[in-house]
Amino acid sequence: MRALSTNTPTKKAHRPVAVPANDPAMLLARARNAAFAEASKGNLGAGLGLLYDALKDEPMSHDLLSDMAALLLAAGKLEHAAGYAERALRIHSLHGPSLYTLAFALSGQGNVDRAIGVLTELQGGAGRDSLQAEAPELVPVAMIELERLRRTR
């Protein structure tokens, strides 16, 4: 007796696309991930070092500049954080995470009016959309800081 054949189509397995080990986007993503992994383990200096090294290869990467600004903000290096955020914003003027970091660095330095201006820019439009896409949990934090700064004026 012959087995019945079920002519059901087989699903094609998803095959990952091979990405060369030296692909610039892949290297950039690895550097960013490694930097934040180090920072999350309390090795902020190591994380900053990884980003700094990556910036030597990709000095115009707004993502790297923004990440450097975020880690510097976390380290309390407000002036340096603002500088890196401003550099990122010169490349991508409405990059939400960079606007966020710049605003908090300015606020921490006592530049209330300028911080309010940056947060107001982040309140709507492309800057907010960018922050919402990359770090949605930070949108309400930014809006709370904006209201707090407006009350202290």
Q: What is the mean pLDDT of residues 44-64?
A: 93
Structure tokens, 108:
């921490």
Q: What is the mean pLDDT of residues 33-53?
A: 92
| Alpha-carbon gap, residue 106 to 60, rounded angstroms | 23
Q: State the pLDDT confidence band at 132, using cuts at 50, 70 and 90.
A: very high
Taking residue 61's Cβ as centre, other Cβ atoms within 10 Å add up to 21
Q: What's the pLDDT at 26?
A: 84
Pick the CATH number of 24-152 from 1.10.287.180, 1.20.1070.10, 1.25.40.10, 1.20.120.1200: 1.25.40.10
Q: What's the pLDDT at 22?
A: 66
| Alpha-carbon gap, residue 54 to 28, rounded angstroms | 7
Alpha-carbon distances of 1 from 4, 8, 105, rounded to whole Å: 9, 21, 79
- pLDDT tens, residue by residue, 15-42: 555 545 567 788 888 989 999 999 999 9
| Alpha-carbon gap, residue 134 to 102, rounded angstroms | 16
Instruction: Using the predicted structure, report yes or no on whether residue 4 has a pLDDT greater than 50.
Output: no
- pLDDT tens, residue by residue, 74-123: 999 999 999 999 999 999 999 999 999 999 999 999 999 999 999 999 99
